[in-house]
Structures are given as C-alpha cells and as structure tokens.
Amino acid sequence: MCHSAPHPPALQERTLLDELNHRIKNELASVINLVSCKAIWTDNVEAKEELSNIVDLLHQHVEVHSLLTMPDRDGLADAGEQLRRLGLAMTRSKLERMNIRLVLSADTLPVESERCWRLALAMYELMANAARHARFDGRDGEIKVKLMRTGSWVSCRVTDNGSGVGRIKPGRGLRIVNELAQSLGGRIDYTFGATLTSFALDFPLTQGERRANKVVAARRPRTGRRARTTLPVLPVPDAGERATPLTLQPHL
C-alpha cells in the first residue's frame, strides 16, 4: 500500500494561504460581476451611477488584497514602493470616504520579499486601526506614515492626529502587529495622547538586505532630503458623478 509523505508545515501553511487568497479573489470577482450586471440592466440613471461607483470601490479593495497577498517568489522587494502602492489603494478604497488624508514618507528600501510582505501586513493593520479608532473631534483627519533606514535597522512610524483616549485595548489587530514585528525580529511601541497617537515598528535588516541598502545609499543623490508623497482626500462622488482619478503628488 502506497502512502504519500506528509508535506512540511511551511508548505502546508503556504497551501492554506493560497487557497484563502484564491477564494477571497473569486468571491470578490463574483460580487463585482453581480453588481456590474445590475448596473447594466437598470434603467434608472442614478442607480446605474451608484452601482458603477460601487464597482469602482470593490476594485480598489481587490487592489488592497492583491498587495497584501503572500509573494510567490524569493528575492528582494522595495518596501518603500510597496508601501506607497498600499497607501494609494487604501486612500481610494477607504480613507477618502472617511475624509482622512494620508501622508507618506518612504525611503527606497530593498528587503526580502516575504519580509516585505509581513511589513506591509503590519503597516496595513496600523493604518486601518488609525482610521477605525481615532477620534478626530471635528479636526481634519490625517495619518502620517514614515518608513526609513537607520543604520542596520528599519524604522516605521504611523501617527494620526486623533485622540488616543479609549484606544489602549489590546485587540486582535494589535496582537497581529506585535506577532508580525516579532517575526521580523523587531518590536512595536506606541504612544497615546489627547490629540496624537503614534505607533513605532522597528526591526533589523538581514545581512543580504544591508548589502543591498548600501548599494542604494551609494546611488542616492546627496540632497539630504527624503521623498514625500501626499495622498489627497477627494470628495466622495454624489449620485450621477464619477469618481475623480487619484494621482500621486511627489514633494521634496
């Protein structure tokens, strides 16, 4: 009688992640197709426009999910570029509808692809946590994200101008971030105030990542200034209006 050898735990986990991602994408595609069909067949102009806007929104959520999918190949990935793409997708899918501005400052930062993925998961959780729980008390909401290399360490900061009162509760999101930080060999700290909340995630670079970052640093112009990207808040379209395209605005 022939018995197949058990798969290694890492391979089993990867298979489960692949199945989950595949199922989520299929379900999202089904919802998009359903809403698209309703938009096509309805004769009501306002309903058609509203349904079309919903389809656009769902596509942005698909983009967020795709950016947070586990990479299928080894090698190095630019964590700064990944974070900029994630910030743009989150702005389009969530933040602009909550009237929250996202400001990104990110270095070009090559890290191993799986570690880049883990970092993106942690940053997503922190940005989503800020959007969900911050109390802006009438102020214009703003989330600032900073990613930079400090020597052989990576420094990540997520700060919002909302009140931290009542937010010091260790929920599932913060537990996930803490475990992701530990998986990177790093740590997570936070500060809560009356008008400001800040999370700091720091982790060390691997030897290969340090070599790659030295090459990047040698090629970088000696301006002493870091690229900054502001993702503006756009008005949510009313019935009968199409969403305004969102573009990156680089500032130096």
Q: Which residues contact 205 (CB under 8 A, 6 or more apart)?
A: 111, 149, 152, 153, 154, 213
CATH code of domain 71-235 = 3.30.565.10
Q: Average pLDDT for residues 170-186, to the nearest whole number?
A: 89
Q: Average pLDDT for residues 111-119, to the nearest whole number?
A: 96
Instruction: Assess whether pLDDT exceeds 50 at residue 244.
Output: no
The per-residue pLDDT of the chain, averaged, comes to 82
Instruction: Assess whether pLDDT exceeds 50 at residue 30.
Output: yes
Structure tokens at 147: 């990613």
CA–CA separation, 35 and 53 (whole Å): 10
- More confident position, 164 or 91: 91
Confidence band for 233, pLDDT divided at 50, 70 and 90? very low
Q: Average pLDDT for residues 7-36, to the nearest whole number?
A: 81
Q: What is the pLDDT of residue 122?
A: 96
**pTM for the complete prediction?**
0.78
CB 27 within 8 A of CB 221: no
Domain range summary for the chain, segments of one domain joined by + = 14-62, 71-235
Q: What is the pLDDT of residue 196?
A: 80
Q: State what percent of residues in the chain have pLDDT above 70.
A: 79
Q: Average pLDDT for residues 230-237, to the nearest whole number?
A: 44
Cα 34–Cα 37–Cα 42 angle in degrees, nearest 5: 125
- Helices and strands (H, E) in the chain, number of each type: 6, 9
Q: Beta strands 110-112 and 76-78: pairing type?
A: antiparallel
**H helices present in 68-160, as ranges:** 79-93, 113-133
